[in-house]
Amino acid sequence: MTNNKKIKIHVKNNHWAPGSFPTDAEGEENFTITKEHLDKALKNFPEIREKVEIFVDWDEDNFKTSMSNSDILLAWSFPTIGLKKIAPNLKWIHVISAGVEHLHPLDWMFDDLVLTNSSGAHVKKAGEYGLMSILMLQNHMTKIITNQKAKNFVSLFSNPIAGKTIVVVGTGSLGSSMVKLLAPLGANIIGINKRGKNVEGCSKVITIDKIDTVLSEADFLYLAVPETPETKNLISKERLNMLKPTCGIVNIGRQSVMDYDVLSEKLKKNEIAGAILDVFTREPIEKNSKLWDVPNLVITPHVSSDDNGSYVKLTLDIFINNLKLFIENKELNNQVDKKLGY
């Protein structure tokens, strides 16, 4: 950016609503980005702060008016229909989440518009959640919780995790953060990603099209992939049937990756040992959902990778690093591939 005109940033926050994001008042508080947040984040970058103008808004209250002369949009969701006409100066959108499937298909993106995400903000929390969930399954906690509900005091003993095989589908920032914590405990970890790229802590890594060759080996199946055409129904009925009955499953990716109806039936029949699910197509889950009563299943309310109180800071760290690159006319990090959808 070589001229003296200030760069206008429109920040769009969302009020919470069932079935949307955030899903509750606590989520709204945790994910809201205020002008104070931005001023604090930019305090150590006066050379950037003097070049930007910030407008903080809620929902679509002033969206069209403000976006008419905005250069950058910082948001989770926003109107995509007619966006080019609404925001003729828009050059860059930063999404405050890692996943962008709520914006799919990305055919609304016009030429030269850059879309980035907050991949990396979730790493530490996701790693710890992943370690916790695998150890919960290894120690039969899903069954113990089911027994507690039925007032059954049954001793369920377990061994250390060393030597157990964990198949990790999706070894991006979320999946690999769990691998780094679990590998030192002696687990045998098989990674699966799009290109078969090596991952620290994995004994081997295969491409996603080879998934059928390792499912029968899994003591635990860990899903950490976004929703894409390639991952939809990846863990189908046929693939769930490949798993041994002692296998435990964790999903922190998206519900569309796995058939929850088939999983529920297999849990009821003890054909899968236990499962921990953190992601659902509609959130919050409706009170009459059958999932609530499935035995050996633990439901967590999409909290696997979001820090309490620090998520905004971590997101703004990524955003401001890119803002510096944007001002310098350099390529931005965390760019979303329009064709791949992530």
What are the tens digits of pLDDT across the range 32-60? 999 999 999 999 999 999 999 999 999 99
> Residue 24's pLDDT is what?
87
CA 7 to CA 41: how far, in whole Å?
17
Q: Which CATH number fits domain 123-299: 3.40.50.720, 1.10.3720.10, 3.40.50.300, 3.30.1490.20?
A: 3.40.50.720
Domain residue spans of the chain: 7-121+307-327, 123-299
Residue bearing tokens 């914006």: 103
CA 230 to chain centroid, in Å, comes to 17
How does pLDDT run across 205-247, given as a tens digit for each residue?
A: 999 999 999 999 999 999 999 998 899 999 999 999 999 999 9
Angle of the 123-138 helix axis to the 141-149 helix axis, nearest 10: 70
- CATH architecture of the domain 7-121+307-327 equals 3-Layer(aba) Sandwich (3.40)
Phi-psi region of 329 (alpha: psi -120 to 50; beta: other; left: phi over 0): left
Percent of the chain with pLDDT over 70: 99
Please choose, from the candidates 219, 193, 212, the residue with its C-alpha nearest in 3D space to the C-alpha of residue 138: 219
Model confidence at 3, in pLDDT bands (50, 70, 90)?
Answer: low
CA 320 to CA 123: how far, in whole Å?
18
How does pLDDT run across 131-175, given as a tens digit for each residue?
A: 999 999 999 999 999 999 999 999 999 999 999 999 999 999 999
CA 225 to CA 210: how far, in whole Å?
16
**Residue 183, pLDDT above cutoff 80:** yes
CA 220 to CA 16: how far, in whole Å?
35
CA 91 to CA 112: how far, in whole Å?
7
Token reading at 92: 């860059």
Token reading at 296: 């050996």
* Whole-structure pTM value: 0.86
> Residue 257's pLDDT is what?
97
